[in-house]
């Protein structure tokens, strides 16, 4: 027996795998060497049952947890006493009697401390603070303003009284009848610059009650009914005329009456002429009598006898006092002149609805000029 017999080649699994792995590079190498690639398809190796090779684990037994039972409540005595509680406390803490008493004394009743809430600053707080500041600011301004008003003296505005002419001065009067006449007379005596006019007014006059009607003079009713308070006035004028100066003053009163009917008021003035000077004597008084400056006839009997002076009788007046028709400032007027020919009172119309009563021609002219100027303005 040949001992050198060759043993059959045993092909390992890896070599068999390499042999049966076919690649494109291997086919190209075979073609270059002049061979033919092995075109027989490879047969897949038989499938092996892997599940049979996986060992099945043994079942795991889960131990059950023991059921917890509630401990039985200790049997307590139906009556709780301090001695039982003290003995139970000593058994639980294993302390002496002195220790338990000291601990209970230290743990006396404690007063619970109130919980302080944490302060949180929200938008609502800002709004409240803002409104509070605004209120405080407004209150401060109001207090300052009221104090300012109390410290400042109030300004009293003079009442606005309409007048048909422009005036230089105003004076308030009051009263009725003789009291009102006296108030006008006192105003006439107060100084007023030359060429000036002072308005006298009453605070309680109405459209129907004027200063003239408040005098309660015995004027005809036809005259009083036709006088309108609106547009009427009483005043004082200083013309500096010689006629007024002869009466002791350059100032004299006057009336401007707004009338409804020219014919009725003129008829009433004509019927009032016999009594008008008596009714208005306090405002338009007669002039004082002049002292005669003519030479006095004297007769001397002898040098040893005293002189005897003989006063001659006063001459008769030049004219009889009465109302006469005249023209002043191109307006027809009725003038009452005394025995010396001086104007005591006159009246006339500036137009069909304006009646003027004045002392003399100078006062009448001043009023007419102011009426014309006021109407132009």
Q: Nearest Cα to 258, choosing from 207, 307, 193? A: 207
Hey, what long-range contacts does 308-317 have (CB within 8 A, 24 or more apart)? none
Residue 362 · residue 328 · CB < 8 Å: no
Residue 196 · residue 238 · CB < 8 Å: yes
Residues 6+ apart with CB under 8 A from 286: 338, 344
* Average pLDDT over all residues of the chain: 76
Residue 291 has pLDDT above 80, yes or no: no
| Assessment of whether the complete model's pTM goes beyond 0.75 | no
pLDDT digit string (tens) for 261-290?
A: 999 999 999 999 999 999 999 999 999 876
pLDDT digit string (tens) for 107-146?
A: 655 656 666 656 555 667 778 888 888 899 889 898 988 8
Tokens at 244, concatenated: 């007024």
| Alpha-carbon torsion angle 328, 329, 332, 335, nearest 10 | -20
Residue 230 · residue 345 · CB < 8 Å: no
**Residue 48 per-residue DSSP state:** -
Hey, what long-range contacts does 38-44 have (CB within 8 A, 24 or more apart)? none
Tokens at 152, concatenated: 């400042």
pLDDT digit string (tens) for 303-356?
A: 444 444 444 445 445 568 899 999 999 999 999 999 999 999 999 999 999 999
Instruction: Please state the rounded mean pLDDT for residues 149-172.
Output: 76
343 CB neighbour count, 10 Å cutoff: 25
Report how far residue 230's alpha carbon sits from residue 251's, in angstroms, rounded to the nearest whole number: 25
């Amino acid at each position: 027996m040949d001992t050198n017999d060759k043993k059959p080649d045993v092909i390992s699994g890896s070599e068999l795998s390499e042999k049966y792995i076919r690649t494109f590079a291997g086919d190209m190498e075979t073609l270059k060497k002049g061979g033919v690639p092995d075109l027989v398809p490879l047969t897949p190796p038989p499938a092996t049952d892997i599940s049979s090779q996986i060992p099945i684990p043994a079942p795991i037994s889960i131990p059950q947890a023991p059921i917890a039972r509630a401990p039985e409540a200790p049997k307590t005595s139906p009556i709780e006493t301090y001695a039982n509680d003290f003995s139970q406390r000593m058994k639980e803490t294993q302390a002496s009697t002195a220790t338990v008493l000291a601990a209970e004394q230290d743990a006396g009743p404690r007063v619970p401390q109130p919980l302080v809430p944490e302060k949180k600053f929200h938008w609502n707080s800002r709004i409240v603070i803002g409104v509070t500041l605004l209120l405080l600011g407004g209150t401060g301004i109001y207090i300052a303003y009221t104090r300012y008003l109390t410290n400042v003296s109030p300004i009293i505005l003079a009442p606005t009284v309409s007048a048909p002419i422009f005036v230089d001065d105003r004076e308030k009067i009051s009263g009725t009848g003789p009291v009102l006449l006296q108030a006008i007379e006192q105003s006439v005596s107060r100084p007023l610059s030359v060429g000036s006019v002072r308005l006298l007014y009453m605070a309680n006059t109405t459209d129907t009650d004027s200063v003239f009607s408040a005098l309660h003079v015995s004027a005809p009713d036809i005259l009083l009914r036709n006088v309108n308070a609106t547009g009427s006035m009483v005043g004082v004028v200083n013309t500096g005329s010689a006629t007024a100066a002869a009466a002791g003053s350059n100032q004299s009163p006057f009336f401007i009456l707004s009338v409804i009917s020219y014919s009725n008021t003129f008829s009433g003035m004509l019927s009032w002429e016999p009594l008008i000077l008596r009714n208005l004597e306090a405002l338009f008084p007669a002039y004082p009598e002049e002292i005669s400056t003519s030479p006095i006839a004297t007769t001397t009997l002898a040098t040893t006898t005293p002189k005897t002076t003989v006063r001659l009788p006063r001459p008769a007046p030049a004219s009889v006092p009465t109302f006469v028709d005249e023209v002043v400032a191109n307006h027809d007027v009725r003038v009452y002149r005394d025995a010396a020919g001086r104007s005591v009172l006159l009246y006339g119309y500036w137009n069909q609805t304006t009646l003027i009563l004045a002392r003399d021609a100078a006062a009448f002219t001043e009023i007419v000029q102011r009426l014309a100027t006021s109407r132009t303005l």
